[in-house]
Structure 1
């Protein structure tokens, strides 16, 4: 799981542009060209859904103005709870009305998928609107700002000034975050005491730790800036050093101080203990995963999945022909490759047997700076900007040294996981809005689903270890997702959560140990479900197709049908899978 991507995926404030009005209908007397009109609508959506000031726009576009955004200084995204509730769903309703004005039957097949995807996205976001008080993503964004800053790029002097602006205004923004949390506490829906302390501890770690990595990052970017003179480079470096060590550090000290003033009125427990918490949790999970299923259906899917993975692990352990291999640190040896580059190259070639062929991606591997490593998992994939050039390298962030236990991690982030999924989407040429809106279940679920194939690509002696490591990872995701449901939907106490640990994880589990996971779930409701549920949905669709088609099942064609839909909801993926099966059955009948 990747905390960086969870922060980057936080919902932005919706702004309705005046240009949307033109899509209510075609001019009188004009012959309507529905596909062309719909393309214009899609092109208008990026600027209609996200403020031009949003920091994410700088991170996602080289030339935002080419996509309808105004020239604007980037800001950390924040809209107060009061303003969000005041705005209500009016803007979303207007977009849904504009969408409904198109004749679905006259759109191309690809446009129909975009139509359904955007409709589902808007409806799911609208469903969250009444529960703005229960959203605590903004504090995660504050703690993760340093990890976001190291993804910044400097293509002009304006970019440098914008970066300085972020450092200069961090304190004022953080004060707003604290005020927002006070407002939530007054309503009894804010962070629990332990969660609030955790945020303050993270502020302490940044304010009291080394900031050299941010200085070094900036200096490296400035050294490569050909548009600056030597004197301008020196001045920029000096100004950045001052801003980081004073303004940014003081911003975190201020945030801690302001949060410390807050008297916690919220109970120690999940969303179920808060007004409307259970109703919000249902909508939150549906939006994160991209599903219409209710919690009970999701819970059953996870229980079945956990039992399935556990059974597969036991089969490997009991197989006399398979031997688990371990390194000197007792980690499972899952690959014979000794470098990230060597493993990715091998995965690229081997995956052609199960997935449509793509061009070999250009990428760079960078180490995650130690001070921000806590905000990353073992590895992370950063896709290029929406308008990146084909020559722009993709970024793989490695958290610590590579070792031969990392097959599952690298496959998840690269091929046939996230990097593969992105590069296939590029081939499809989907409109910009389809690259901006997405569902965590589609991304993380696919990456976990596809990573299983990697275990069959390693030399035979490593396959039992590779499969075991994969099944163990997925069992733990299912376990964590079920615990998340228990805490936020069922209202589990810490003691009840320990019972769950002792029943399904280890009889020797202690309250101190289970509390670590309990606290993680409190701060990030629903964070594990897209990884587990999304993967299980993809596996379910594949199993159904294999059962119906038997020997006629073609994994390459099956995956192509799913992937060409882009990031979408699982009802739409199911339609794609059904289309594949119907086409294959028709071909069989014709023969």
Structure 2
């Protein structure tokens, strides 16, 4: 393309007079493109297959380069006049500013040097295959490329962990002690038994048999000769070098400047300026409130004995448990089918994207929680999935299944996340992501909506709802206790057992999760309490004119935003409703 001198001058003039809105839109697009470039795994999660043959760069040099680039984005962003932007663009500006500042703080504080725990790390990368459709020969060859690139990725993880040792930024030993056994499960059996080989177990349509046999052979060869030796070497590094250097104390506060680390994480996950001391106090107050409600349920079923005896009864009586994983899974499916028809009572707008129910993979089930949710692909190529833990059904009580389902599926995570992905006119970083305090706060708030959906009619199911609410209240106490006040793991487990009716297996897994992921556990209850406060204020102000469907539609209508922004948004809505 050729430009005249006048054309070049006009182009320069048009660039020079770009409005703040245009500058911001260009910056958001540039930042998102860079984000996708940095994270092939994110692209896979979003349904984009263009980077399915590689992993993100985990090296120290890549971390440093990303921090430099974020500094450049931050400088560009701060040069834009935010006051000249529209309402939603101002919110996007504030969220992007917060995100860049937080990511730079994470790097400065050395949190990138603690990239592994029992629920996250290279030992779990095989689960990414569940986000891939595997409908063409290319999909399988891309996965082969990823398998071949795993040894280099493991070397990068080792480099980061070694630097973490040098900078005294290590994971808690009690968490990392679980990881070698997770790697052992990957190495067990023949190459065809490996979770990384799973896509090659069933032949797809459209791939000639000769090519399929070649792909299977190549996959087994790569796993046997390249991937498994690299995993075994990484395991040896963990047991011989990293584990001995891990911190003995469970709390991140035991590291140099550890309390500052935790204060940052508390603010990051709650999107508030609440101190760990204040969060701890809120948790204790919620525990006391819920204990009183649990006592009422205990009395209603005529149980004689204290609450601890009641919890022991619930943990041990066979009537509350399925005998087989298959029966447990059927129970989850039956509950999920009951939820959808009730949603119209509470929401005017429902997501187009459906969800399904899947078992948590056997390789990770022993070390993970009771359930989790996997969001839909952003391009609509995959539904959302509610994953349930079928490992040891004798510790998965029936009375928790309703409350768990409304949290993870609908009206909890699936409804909120699918609606956010369908919002129009917002940048991708808002529709495909968002603040944990909103996402998890909504999930916990949704548990209370079960009453309005006709759930918890059985007193034991009501006790299950209170148990789950208590679980999140206890989190505030034990997470701050472990990471800020120096609690031992045993003290945290004992506090949990004394105040919640969950099984001991779940409690131990949960405490180890909090140890390995400091601060994240705070988001649930803090987010829920803010949403409940906003709803109570609206109900009191509007009285009989309060419309729960309109309230929920507006609450969810901007995606997962910070709690202070949510409060301002809903205060404006309330003013409009009052005329």
* Aligned pairs, number: 544
1:490 Cα deviation after fit: 1.5
Distance 2:507 2:450 in 1: 31
Corresponding position of 1:417: 412
Distance 2:532 2:149 in 1: 46
Summarize the alignment of residues 81-160 of structure 1 with structure 2, pairs less than 5 Å apart. Answer: 84=63, 86-87=64-65, 89-132=67-110, 135-138=113-116, 140-154=120-134, 156-160=136-140
Distance 1:581 1:378 in 2: 37
Distance 2:100 2:73 in 1: 8
Distance 1:316 1:219 in 2: 51
Distance 1:535 1:256 in 2: 40
CA deviation map 1:301-322 (0-9, x unaligned)? 3222222222222233334799
Moved more, 412-421 or 168-177: 168-177
Distance 1:215 1:420 in 2: 31
1:218 Cα deviation after fit: 0.6
Partner of residue 449 from structure 2, selected from 450, 453, 456? 453
Corresponding position of 1:489: 484
Distance 1:328 1:321 in 2: 16
Partner of residue 214 from structure 1, selected from 179, 195, 202? 195
Q: Secondary structure of the equivalent of 2:296?
A: helix
Distance 1:183 1:544 in 2: 50
Q: Secondary structure of the equivalent of 2:341?
A: helix
CA 1:544–1:248: 2 relative to 1, 3 Å: farther
1:528 Cα deviation after fit: 2.0
Distance 1:284 1:346 in 2: 38
Corresponding position of 1:283: 264
- Equivalent pair of 2:53/2:143 in contact (CA under 8 Å): no
Distance 2:212 2:506 in 1: 49
Corresponding position of 2:28: 42
Partner of residue 189 from structure 1, selected from 135, 149, 169? 169
CA 1:502–1:339: 2 relative to 1, 3 Å: closer
1:299 Cα deviation after fit: 2.2
Distance 2:52 2:127 in 1: 22
TM-score of the superposed pair, with normalisation by structure 2 = 0.82
1:101 Cα deviation after fit: 3.9
5+ residue gaps, structure 2, are 1-10, 304-309, 323-328
Corresponding position of 2:347: 355
1:514 Cα deviation after fit: 8.4
1:141 Cα deviation after fit: 1.4
CA deviation map 1:268-293 (0-9, x unaligned)? 11111111111111112322333333
CA 1:134–1:215: 2 relative to 1, 3 Å: closer
CA 1:496–1:388: 2 relative to 1, 3 Å: closer
Partner of residue 235 from structure 2, selected from 245, 256, 266? 256
CA deviation map 1:127-167 (0-9, x unaligned)? 32211257422453122122233333335544333311221
Distance 1:537 1:209 in 2: 50
Distance 2:417 2:489 in 1: 40
Distance 2:266 2:205 in 1: 43
1:63 Cα deviation after fit: 5.6
TM-score of the superposed pair, with normalisation by structure 1 = 0.80
- Equivalent pair of 2:59/2:160 in contact (CA under 8 Å): no
Distance 1:172 1:267 in 2: 27
- Equivalent pair of 1:350/1:457 in contact (CA under 8 Å): yes
Distance 1:523 1:338 in 2: 32
Corresponding position of 1:530: 523
- Equivalent pair of 1:497/1:514 in contact (CA under 8 Å): no
Corresponding position of 1:374: 366
Distance 2:561 2:233 in 1: 40
1:475 Cα deviation after fit: 0.7
1:416 Cα deviation after fit: 0.3
- Equivalent pair of 1:55/1:77 in contact (CA under 8 Å): no
Summarize the alignment of residues 64-79 of structure 1 with structure 2, pairs less than 5 Å apart. Answer: 73-79=53-59
Partner of residue 566 from structure 2, selected from 548, 555, 573? 573
Moved more, 516-525 or 113-122: 516-525
Distance 1:104 1:366 in 2: 44
1:414 Cα deviation after fit: 1.4
Q: Secondary structure of the equivalent of 2:121?
A: helix
Corresponding position of 2:298: 317
Distance 2:573 2:292 in 1: 30
- Equivalent pair of 1:203/1:256 in contact (CA under 8 Å): yes
- Equivalent pair of 1:418/1:443 in contact (CA under 8 Å): yes
CA 1:303–1:576: 2 relative to 1, 3 Å: farther
CA root-mean-square deviation: 3.8
Corresponding position of 1:544: 537
CA deviation map 1:522-570 (0-9, x unaligned)? 3232242223322222223223333333333322222222211212211
CA 1:435–1:376: 2 relative to 1, 3 Å: farther
Distance 2:525 2:26 in 1: 36
Distance 2:247 2:422 in 1: 49
5+ residue gaps, structure 1, are 1-24, 65-70, 587-591
Corresponding position of 1:3: none
Distance 2:141 2:497 in 1: 54
Distance 1:496 1:310 in 2: 19
- Equivalent pair of 2:369/2:506 in contact (CA under 8 Å): no
Q: Secondary structure of the equivalent of 1:343?
A: helix
CA 1:129–1:321: 2 relative to 1, 3 Å: same
CA 1:26–1:48: 2 relative to 1, 3 Å: farther
- Equivalent pair of 2:47/2:380 in contact (CA under 8 Å): yes
